[in-house]
Amino acid sequence: MADRPANPAESTFGASTFERSLDPKPPMRWIGWRRRGLVVAALLGCLAILSLMRWLAASPHLDAAFQAGPNGTLVLASSVQPALQAQAGRPVAALVGAGGRVVPLDALALGHSPRWQVDDAQRTRAIAQQEDIAQLLAAGPTALRFADGTEVALDTPPRGYAGIGLVFWPLAAFALLLYLVGVIVVLVRPLWRNVLYLAMALSQAANLCFIAMGSMRGLGLPAGAATAEWLPRLALDLVTITAAVHGFALHPRRVPRAELIGGAAWAVAALVLGLLHADLLPQPWWWAQAAILGLGGAGLAVMSWSYRLEQNPYASVMRRFTAIALATFALVTGGAAAAGQPGLPYQIGVIGTVIWYLFFASLLLLVPFLSRSKQVLREFAMLAGISTVAASLDLLFVAVFSIGQFTSLTLAVFLALGAYAGARQWILNQMVGSAVLTTERTFELLYRVAREVQDQPARYAPLLEQVLRDLYDPLEVARTDRVVTSARVLSSGSGLVVPVRAGTPGDPARPPLSLVLRFARRGKRLFTTEDARLADRVVEQLRRAVAYDQAVERGRNEERQRIAQDLHDDIGARLLTLMYQAQTREMEDYIRHTLLDLKTLTRGLSKSEHRLSHAAAEWKADLTQRLTAAHVQLNWSVEVDRDVKLTVVQWSALTRVLRELVTNALYHAQATRVDVSFTLAGRELALSVADDGNGRDPQAWSHGLGLGGVRKRVKLLGGEVRWRENSPRGIVCEVKVADFGPKPSET
């Protein structure tokens, strides 16, 4: 896979998008209007919730708890009213109002949501019953008639805020949170696809408000509430799935004919809703469910198509979300159908649908935070999904296998908890693609690369790129000269930018550099804030490795300078005194040569690096002086293609190798001519020292300190050395280093 996209125009990392992503913060004028817009939206949302609460609190109600009895009857469970406390456990027949108006009551009065009534006749009767109850309670005092004909007169005061119930508050807060997240997404980036997300968030927030109304205790909803729920809630679900299909066609990659796909989805939803409103479809509930599942399947197909066009991990995660939501929605549909059969636990079906809406809302809420550490949201979404499966399986077990209610509930809970306990991490990984390397593997990788950086600091940038590739396995890696202070997640988790170096002002050879990684795990998962923190730690550790190497080198330089100064001031002064006190001319010349060698040594130690041209000149001058004094001819040849800088280790090793080889030619071989050839071609160094002395058969030599030192120093350079016989007489020593010289700087 190439490091850069073949067509940048089709990439989600287009230049303009990338530039905006790397901006440290948006202009202040954008922040200003966004803040004001968010405040206005929050006030409107709070005002809507408060208005709903005020409307509900003002409605009259019958403060009692009821439950479904056998054959669809309604049974009084408990009540705070003294007149009803003695009637607990008795079946209820009707509600009697002023003027003798009677409203028959049965288990349908418990279900405040006609949206999930499968049977058309039962739905119509449930809506009519809820409206009759509301009108009767609003008319004044009522009486509750039991199955044996007993009537108990009751007051029906306004519900009040305390009568709304505890469940209402978290549901309303969840709806407000979902609404605000949708608004924030649009305000942060006002794009068409984010407007579609806002439409989904608003629809599901309204659904949660409907569910919150149905959670209230007792009998009695405001007039018109039940009538207004059936088609509006269907419309909310259709708008949600249609907006999802349209959004999938636009993001993360715009598929061909995206607007046509979105328009077709909206047309289908409008057609279905229009036919339902005109009551032209038989069994409308099944048509609505089929339309939602069909549009969901279309959305799944669009997202799969988008992923084939570009292996964006966001598309992969959204495809998983869509598949999970559709599968659980199909289960809830089956559970609701089973709950509508006679003798089955209707309330469990209601609970199953409520949990599914919570699950879907949590998925919506999780979408903007996929690349962030929102473990609570992920756990809540997973638990809601597992609970949805458990409730649906319970009803299906009862309906299909005729299992008892207690047995079916136990079996469903057991299966759901088993799936949660046994496959929790796998489920989380499938939801958000969060699989990462193990801690041991990451430590091993980082340790190995840190050691390489210590050995070769100049390769810091490519080694960092290598470790990031190994950690995240991205499809693409690009380089940019934009400066970022720390690793950042881009494009909703599709990319990660990591700083390599900030650059040095005025130093064009070291420009700023950042790496941009796209599509982690070959497009199978998103980058997260944990990945960004890990990348920052990796960068910091490798920088510390480089700093450690630099600190060690500074220590070595300081120690070499100290040794050179001590040799010059102490040993040099002593040798100079001995030279003036020499008894013979030969001794004076020997000490003078030793002083010159010491001068060369101390000058070399005091430098951190040496130019090859300067070092070669010093070597030639030193050898010429020594060989001339011994009346030996020197043939010197140097061919280099560039003037490299030698480190102290390289300079010291080559200096001592040359001196040792020439010393052997002088004192052991008694040569009259020494030929030195030095060649550097590319990164390959070749050094040859030949003499015409009396040395023969080098394979039979015993290597003492001299020859052993030559081998050791050549090995330190990463090369190899061998001796062979010269023609017609003498010895040739050949040194070859395949990878010589400082490593080239990476830009």
Chain segment 552-591, per-residue pLDDT in tens:
667 766 776 777 677 767 777 777 777 777 778 777 777 7
Q: Give the distance, in angstroms, between the CA of residue 388 and the centroid of all CA atoms in the same chain.
A: 28
Residue range 89-112: mean pLDDT, rounded: 84
Distance of CA 705 to the CA centre of its chain: 59
Least confident interval from 9-18, 247-256, 467-476, 537-546: 9-18
Between residues 573 and 213, the one the model is more confident about? 213
Residues forming CATH 3.30.565.10 domain(s) in the chain: 607-747
For the chain, what is the mean pLDDT?
Answer: 79
Record the tokens describing residue 323, joined without a space.
């598949």
Question: Where does 607-747 sit in CATH, by number?
Answer: 3.30.565.10
Q: Is the peptide bond before 728 cis (omega within 30 degrees of 0)?
A: yes
Choice among 6-15, 148-157, 294-303, 674-683 with the minimum mean pLDDT:
6-15
CA 357 to chain centroid, in Å, comes to: 27
Tokens coding 110: 């418990």
Q: Per-residue pLDDT averaged across 346-354, rounded?
A: 66
Please tell me the predicted confidence (pLDDT) of residue 149: 86
Q: Name the token pair of 264.
A: 């077709």
Give the model confidence (pLDDT) of 145-192 as tens digits: 998 888 888 888 888 888 888 889 989 999 999 999 999 999 988 889
pLDDT greater at residue 134 or residue 525: 134
- Give the closest residue to 663 by CA, choosing from 705, 701, 696: 705
Task: Work out the pLDDT band at 303, boundaries 50, 70, 90.
Answer: very high
Q: Higher model confidence: residue 4 or residue 370?
A: 370
Mean pLDDT on 663-688: 89
Higher-pLDDT residue of 326, 401: 326
Q: pLDDT band for position 416 (50/70/90)?
A: low
For the chain, report the end-to-end CA distance as a whole number of angstroms.
Answer: 22
Average pLDDT over residues 18-34: 54
Task: Note the pLDDT tens digit of each residue in 103-126.
Answer: 898 888 876 678 888 888 888 888
| pLDDT over 50 (residue 699) | yes
What is the reported pLDDT for 15? 36
CA distance 675 to 695: 15
- pLDDT of 221-256, one tens digit each? 888 887 778 899 999 999 999 999 999 999 888 999
* Spatial distance between the Cα atoms of 577 and 591, rounded to a whole number of angstroms: 10
**Confidence tier at 337 by pLDDT (50, 70, 90):** confident
Written in H, E and C, the secondary structure of 68-106 is: ECHHHCEEEEEECCHHHHCCCCCEEEEEECHHHCEEECC
* Least confident segment among 320-329, 412-421, 452-461: 412-421
Q: Alpha helices of 280-345 — where are they, by DSSP H?
A: 284-309, 313-339
Beta-carbon contacts of residue 657 (< 8 Å; ≥ 6 apart): 687, 710, 713, 714, 735
- Nearest residue to 281 via CA among 404, 75, 120, 522: 120
Q: Which pLDDT band holds residue 355 (cuts at 50, 70, 90)?
A: confident
Q: What angle do CA 664, 670, 672 make, to 5 degrees?
A: 110
pTM score over 0.75: no
User: 402: pLDDT confidence band, cut at 50, 70 and 90?
Assistant: low
For the cut 80, the answer to whether the pLDDT of residue 593 exceeds it is no
Of residues 549 and 717, more confidence is placed in 717
Task: Tell me what pLDDT residue 64 has.
Answer: 86
CA distance 70 to 107: 9
The most confident of 40-54, 160-174, 311-325, by mean pLDDT: 40-54
User: Which phi-psi region, left, alpha or beta, contains residue 6 (left: φ > 0; alpha: ψ -120 to 50)?
Assistant: alpha
The answer to whether 284 and 120 are in contact (CB under 8 A) is yes
Backbone torsions φ then ψ of 684, nearest 5 degrees: -100, 125
Q: Which amino acid is at 690?
A: A
pLDDT band at 428; cut points 50, 70, 90: low
Q: d(Cα 312, Cα 167) in Å, to the nearest integer? A: 40
User: How high is the pLDDT of residue 438?
Assistant: 55
Do the bridges between strand 731-737 and strand 684-691 make them parallel or antiparallel, or are there none, so unpaired? Answer: antiparallel
pLDDT bin (cut points 50, 70, 90) of residue 508 is very low
Structure-block tokens of residue 286 = 């099944």
Q: Does residue 733 contact residue 686 with C-beta atoms inside 8 Å?
A: no
